[in-house]
């Protein structure tokens, strides 16, 4: 057989997308593929949303539990949120429609560490998984599935679901075959054995996903691009942040604490994280490696430039232009990129063993080094914790990057007390803004406060932070981590009331 579906048993299951969507029942928990806009099913979610709208019009409200790898795209999260078709969403999202509904209190969202999803699902924490809807880039003659541009939780979905719907997307490069490393060695404790990755590009599994054909209830053929966001071109602020990070790395090398080719890099989502990668392109470091979650434009450019030798991740997160380029040249990247299940790409054991240098974006940090990655003004979720906690807690050095102000200077991202905590002071080694870099390692809380205010705060907010800290040092209940409790969140309250922290 030719084409992307080369197995007769699977080929016999090809149906129109509307027919496939009819096979999902009201109340089902549905595990869908997809991670940061890559490898998500492109057509079944839309057909399901249409069906949900029709059911509602007929007086039969229908919702499904929606589980994925991480964020997807408007064709999945957006359409299903639009028709109020989602009962519970987990573990990460960045969709504007979903975000609005979550923050309006009409959509339940459970935001969990990405490395925890598979084991919690295996334990049944979220209930039973009824259906898996998984995009693949092909099916081999002997019935194995060639994964697409993300792996995410697909092994778990295919393993746990009663029924499986496959989307075979011929837009995805046929040369993805062989790029994946699917590890089937994870078991539940007791009796777990070490994950034998000792270098970022080690391959410890097989290149294909396995799924018993009997479980497959429908196969849908698609030819649709991944829909990723375009990154903003690095601006002066993000270039300056990147410069501080590079100087810090150079100093660590100089002190003999990092090798000349650094340690495996992890870089989070967002424009600033992407800009730091762009900075590495022209920096002094060569022969780098990455053990990370997503391969974004900046990382692909580092591979192209030969600065990065190999990269391990669970997904791509490329702009349309970079995705086109990757699709043209995928064969050339096959030996240098490894895509793994997110349980492995984000595994604490491996992150600690390899000594990853973790760099993640944040919403805000406080003067003692606690970090909020997820909530605006303590109550509105932006995206989710994603993999930042998996890496930050276990990294060799955990770095958080942010511009010092947001919303045209109305908000200071360095605040007296964070309005929500994702990464505690114990997991935060370094904070960087365009103003400077604060290395917090080894410092007591009061010394951390002095360093963060001096090095990271914007000059417009620095005097007010100093004033708060000085008064807290005199009037707090205790002087280990001095706070004025009636004032510590007043900056956020002022923003909520007046539209500015000033």
Which residues form the catalytic set?
A: 293
Q: Look at strands 145-147 and 265-267 and give their pairing.
A: unpaired
By the rule CB under 6 A, 115 interacts with ligand 0RQ: no
- Residues 145-164, one symbol each (x = binds ligand 0RQ by CB under 6 A, - = not), give --------------------
- Give the Cβ contact number of residue 223 at 10 Å: 12
Shorter beta-carbon distance to ligand 0RQ: residue 56 or 462: 462
Shorter beta-carbon distance to ligand 0RQ: residue 7 or 36: 36
Q: Can you list the pairs that 248-255 forms with residues at least 24 positions away whose Cβ atoms lie under 8 Å?
A: 248/399, 248/430, 248/432, 248/437, 248/439, 249/283, 249/285, 249/357, 250/284, 252/397
Question: Please, what is the minimum distance in Å from the beta carbon of residue 249 to ligand 0RQ?
Answer: 19
- Give the Cβ contact number of residue 495 at 10 Å: 21
By the rule CB under 6 A, 110 interacts with ligand 0RQ: no
Candidates 7-15, 141-149, 356-364, 472-480; binding stretch for ligand 0RQ (CB under 6 A): 356-364
- H or E element at residue 311: strand 308-313
The torsion angles phi and psi of 260, rounded to 5 degrees, stand at -60, -30
Q: Which of 208, 216, 221 is nearest to 165 (CA)?
A: 216
By the rule CB under 6 A, 376 interacts with ligand 0RQ: yes
By the rule CB under 6 A, 261 interacts with ligand 0RQ: no
By the rule CB under 6 A, 28 interacts with ligand 0RQ: no
Question: Please, what is the minimum distance in Å from the beta carbon of residue 118 to ligand 0RQ?
Answer: 15
Shorter beta-carbon distance to ligand 0RQ: residue 155 or 419: 419
Site for ligand 0RQ in 409-448 (CB under 6 A): 411, 413
Candidate list 138, 207, 270, 436; residue touching ligand 0RQ; CB under 6 A = 270
Q: Are 356 and 394 in contact (CB under 8 A)?
A: yes
Q: Which of 462, 417, 425 is nearest to 444 (CA)?
A: 425
By the rule CB under 6 A, 345 interacts with ligand 0RQ: no
Q: Are 139 and 37 in contact (CB under 8 A)?
A: no
Question: Please, what is the minimum distance in Å from the beta carbon of residue 495 to ligand 0RQ?
Answer: 8
Spatial separation of the C-alpha atoms in residues 180 and 268, rounded to whole Å: 21
Candidates 5-13, 155-163, 183-191, 360-368; binding stretch for ligand 0RQ (CB under 6 A): 360-368
Candidate list 382, 424, 490, 493; residue touching ligand 0RQ; CB under 6 A = 382
Candidates 129-137, 376-384, 439-447, 467-475; binding stretch for ligand 0RQ (CB under 6 A): 376-384
- Give the Cβ contact number of residue 36 at 10 Å: 32
Spatial separation of the C-alpha atoms in residues 37 and 71, rounded to whole Å: 6
By the rule CB under 6 A, 361 interacts with ligand 0RQ: yes
Candidates 382-390, 429-437, 438-446, 456-464; binding stretch for ligand 0RQ (CB under 6 A): 382-390
Candidates 179-187, 270-278, 299-307, 437-445; binding stretch for ligand 0RQ (CB under 6 A): 270-278
Candidate list 327, 360, 394, 433; residue touching ligand 0RQ; CB under 6 A = 360
By the rule CB under 6 A, 465 interacts with ligand 0RQ: no
Question: Please, what is the minimum distance in Å from the beta carbon of residue 334 to ligand 0RQ?
Answer: 23
By the rule CB under 6 A, 364 interacts with ligand 0RQ: yes
Spatial separation of the C-alpha atoms in residues 239 and 217, rounded to whole Å: 50
Site for ligand 0RQ in 67-96 (CB under 6 A): 70, 92
- Give the Cβ contact number of residue 3 at 10 Å: 11
- Give the Cβ contact number of residue 499 at 10 Å: 11
Q: Look at strands 357-361 and 364-366 and give their pairing.
A: unpaired
By the rule CB under 6 A, 387 interacts with ligand 0RQ: yes
Shorter beta-carbon distance to ligand 0RQ: residue 183 or 491: 491
State the sign of the Cα–Cα–Cα–Cα dihedral 378, 382, 384, 387: negative
Output the residue with the shortest Cβ distance to ligand 0RQ. 386
Q: Which residues of 124-136 are buried (b: 16+ CB within 10 A; e: fewer)?
A: eebeebbbbbbbb
Q: Are 232 and 264 in contact (CB under 8 A)?
A: no
Candidate list 241, 272, 354, 440; residue touching ligand 0RQ; CB under 6 A = 272
Shorter beta-carbon distance to ligand 0RQ: residue 166 or 501: 501
Q: Which of 236, 322, 242 is nearest to 280 (CA)?
A: 242
State the sign of the Cα–Cα–Cα–Cα dihedral 101, 28, 71, 166: negative
Shorter beta-carbon distance to ligand 0RQ: residue 35 or 249: 35
Shorter beta-carbon distance to ligand 0RQ: residue 7 or 402: 402
Q: What string of H, E and C letters represents the secondary structure of 224-253?
A: CCCCCCCCCCCCHHHHHHHHHHHHHHHHHH
Shorter beta-carbon distance to ligand 0RQ: residue 268 or 436: 268
Shorter beta-carbon distance to ligand 0RQ: residue 137 or 346: 346
By the rule CB under 6 A, 388 interacts with ligand 0RQ: yes
- Residue 485 is given by DSSP the state T
By the rule CB under 6 A, 117 interacts with ligand 0RQ: no
| C-alpha 22: how far from chain center | 31
Q: Which residues bind ligand 0RQ (CB under 6 A)?
A: 36, 70, 92, 268-272, 293-294, 360-364, 373, 376, 382-383, 385-388, 406-407, 411, 413
């Amino acid at each position: 057989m030719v084409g992307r579906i080369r197995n007769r048993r699977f080929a016999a299951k090809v149906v129109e997308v509307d027919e496939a969507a009819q096979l999902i029942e009201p109340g089902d928990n549905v595990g869908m593929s997809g991670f940061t806009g890559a490898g998500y099913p492109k057509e079944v979610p839309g057909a399901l949303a249409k069906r949900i709208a029709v059911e509602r019009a007929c007086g039969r409200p229908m919702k499904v539990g929606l589980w994925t790898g991480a964020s997807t795209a408007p064709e999945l999260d957006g359409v299903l949120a639009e028709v109020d078709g989602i009962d519970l969403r987990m573990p990460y999202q960045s969709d504007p429609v979903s975000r609005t509904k979550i923050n309006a209190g009409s959509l339940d969202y459970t935001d969990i560490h990405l490395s925890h999803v598979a084991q919690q699902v295996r334990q049944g924490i979220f209930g039973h998984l009824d259906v898996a809807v998984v995009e693949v880039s092909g099916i081999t003659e002997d019935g194995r599935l060639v994964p697409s541009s993300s792996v995410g939780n697909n092994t778990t979905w295919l393993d746990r679901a009663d029924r499986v719907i496959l989307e075979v997307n011929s837009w995805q490069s046929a040369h993805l075959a062989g790029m994946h490393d699917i590890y089937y060695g994870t078991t539940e404790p007791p009796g777990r054995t070490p994950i034998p990755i000792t270098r970022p590009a080690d391959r410890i599994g097989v290149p294909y996903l396995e799924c018993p054909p009997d479980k497959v209830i429908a196969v849908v053929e698609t030819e649709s691009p991944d829909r990723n966001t375009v990154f903003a071109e690095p601006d002066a602020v993000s270039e300056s942040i990147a410069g501080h990070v590079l100087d810090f790395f150079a100093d660590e090398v100089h002190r003999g604490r990092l090798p000349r080719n650094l340690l495996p890099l992890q870089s989070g989502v967002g424009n600033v994280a992407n800009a730091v990668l762009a900075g590495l392109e022209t920096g002094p470091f060569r022969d780098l490696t990455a053990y990370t979650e997503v391969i974004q434009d900046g990382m692909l450019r580092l591979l192209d430039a030969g600065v990065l030798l190999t990269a391990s991740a669970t997904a791509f997160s490329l702009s349309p232009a970079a995705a086109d380029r990757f699709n043209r040249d995928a064969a050339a990247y096959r030996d240098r990129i490894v895509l793994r299940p997110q349980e492995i790409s984000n595994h604490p054991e491996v992150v600690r063993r390899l000594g990853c240098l973790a760099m993640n974006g944040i919403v805000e940090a406080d003067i003692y080094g606690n970090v909020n990655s997820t909530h605006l003004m303590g109550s509105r979720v932006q995206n989710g914790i994603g993999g930042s906690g998996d890496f930050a807690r276990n990294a060799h050095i955990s770095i958080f990057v942010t511009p010092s102000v947001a919303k045209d200077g109305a908000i200071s991202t360095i605040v007296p007390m964070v309005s929500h905590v994702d990464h505690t002071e114990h997991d935060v080694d370094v904070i960087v803004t365009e103003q400077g870099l604060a290395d917090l390692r080894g410092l007591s809380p009061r010394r951390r406060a002095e360093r963060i205010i001096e090095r990271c705060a914007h000059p417009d907010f620095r005097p007010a932070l100093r004033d708060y800290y000085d008064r807290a040092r005199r009037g707090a209940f205790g002087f280990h981590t001095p706070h004025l409790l009636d004032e510590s969140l007043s900056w956020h309250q002022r923003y909520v009331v007046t539209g500015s922290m000033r």
